[in-house]
Amino acid sequence: MKLVKKFNFATLIFGTGSIIALAYSLTYLFPITDEAFVIENMTAISSAVTGHVEEIYVKNGQELKKGDPILLVKPEKYDLEYKGIKAQYEQAKVGLSVISQQIQVTSANMQAAEEQLNRMKYEYSQKSAPDVGNGVPQIELKTLEFNIKSQQNVVLGLQRQIDLEKIELKKAQTGIATLSAAVDKAAIDVSDTMVRAPADGYIQNMYMGVGSSALAHVGLLNYVDTSEVFIQANMNETDLSNVQAGDKVLIFPRAYLGRKIFHGVVMSNNWSVDRQHILPAKETQLILSQNHWVNLPQRLPVQIKVLDNDPQHRLLPGMSAYAYIRTK
């Protein structure tokens, strides 16, 4: 009888150990966790320009589509700046056109002067030829030589004038390019007075009213981007040796258990975690240790991107789920 009891006890211990070993092996080969949560893809909405809020078109919790207006920063200042720079740009274009036309006129005058110089040189060559030279008075030849030199000076003067006008043209073109960029920047500033939704999502933590100050690139409210949904699956460290970026994931939200299964993909395998909880804001994920008396496997966060977000079964931030990673 004692032998049977010892045998039954040994069998029980062995069977229990075998079950634990099998379960451990299965979780190693098929990582699964019941500690997965929908996480927010949140961004701070800010204005690209500084000013006072003139209009607010939304309220907390309101759902928006990409491009929907959120608020308007008072635009009058930026409208005036745009109009002033635009007027300078148009005036500079007129100045550029005047310089271009002047270069054309000067170039035409120089061409005519060169043609006149060539005619004078030809006349001189004809009258100073040996077979004709004795019949042309020397005073006439001297006069032709003087006129040729004078005409050469005219041509050189016109060439210098063209060179100076081309320098002015280059300066004007540089000024035009600078003003054109300023016009584009001013137009963008006018457009940026209207703050729009960067993606499909909803407003969160908006505590402001008409007349509030808006500083450029300083967050005014939070915006939850619902165009992409992510899951943080806190996996046992012993289950992660085979997990790689790109592994397929089955997601079973508790809210839709038995009704909806989502599919996802592991985003990366660069896991890091903060267990010290010293600073309130850290770049790493925070998972507080849940065991102090027994050295059990710790959990590490795995980020998963949901591939088939379903508007009929919305995954809201904070929802819990089961996650099963199909390792390769």
Mean pLDDT value of segment 276-294: 49
The total number of residues shown for the chain amounts to 328
Give the pLDDT band of residue 275 (cuts 50, 70, 90).
very low
Q: What percent of the chain has pLDDT over 90?
A: 60
Give the pLDDT band of residue 295 (cuts 50, 70, 90).
low
Q: How many domains does the chain have?
A: 2
Mean pLDDT value of segment 167-185: 95
pLDDT digits (tens, 9 = 90+) for 248-264: 999 999 999 989 999 99
Last residue of a domain, one of 148, 168, 192: 192
Last residue of a domain, one of 171, 192, 213: 192
Do 49 and 147 fall within a single domain?
no
Does the pLDDT at position 25 exceed 50?
Answer: no
Give the pLDDT band of residue 160 (cuts 50, 70, 90).
very high
Mean pLDDT value of segment 100-121: 94
Mean pLDDT value of segment 26-52: 84
Distance of alpha carbon 113 from alpha carbon 118, whole angstroms: 9
205: left (phi over 0), alpha (psi -120 to 50) or beta: left
Mean pLDDT value of segment 63-81: 95
Residues 6+ apart with CB under 8 A from 207: 221
Does the pLDDT at position 269 exceed 80?
Answer: no
Do 241 and 300 fall within a single domain?
yes
Do 204 and 320 fall within a single domain?
yes
Using an 8 Å Cβ cutoff, are 230 and 38 in contact? yes
Give the pLDDT band of residue 137 (cuts 50, 70, 90).
confident
Asked whether residue 112 is assigned to any structural domain, the reply reads yes
Mean pLDDT value of segment 184-188: 96
Nearest to 183 by CA among 96, 76, 87: 87
Containing structural domain, residue 41: 29-68+200-328
Using an 8 Å Cβ cutoff, are 263 and 251 in contact? yes
Asked whether residue 14 is assigned to any structural domain, the reply reads no
Using an 8 Å Cβ cutoff, are 42 and 228 in contact? no
Does the pLDDT at position 310 exceed 50?
Answer: yes
Asked whether residue 48 is assigned to any structural domain, the reply reads yes
Give the pLDDT band of residue 206 (cuts 50, 70, 90).
confident
Does the pLDDT at position 282 exceed 50?
Answer: no
Do 231 and 326 fall within a single domain?
yes
Does the pLDDT at position 265 exceed 90?
Answer: yes
Mean pLDDT value of segment 138-162: 92
Give the pLDDT band of residue 11 (cuts 50, 70, 90).
low
Chain mean pLDDT for the chain: 84
Strands 273-274 and 213-214: unpaired
Does the pLDDT at position 167 exceed 90?
Answer: yes
Asked whether residue 98 is assigned to any structural domain, the reply reads yes
Nearest to 57 by CA among 191, 209, 205: 209
268 vs 108: which has the higher pLDDT: 108
219 vs 131: which has the higher pLDDT: 219
Do 148 and 293 fall within a single domain?
no
Asked whether residue 18 is assigned to any structural domain, the reply reads no
Residue 114 sits in a domain whose CATH number is 1.10.287
69 vs 179, 247, 321, CA distance in Å?
A: 30, 38, 34
Asked whether residue 22 is assigned to any structural domain, the reply reads no
Give the pLDDT band of residue 156 (cuts 50, 70, 90).
very high
Q: How far is CA 304 from the centre of its chain?
A: 24
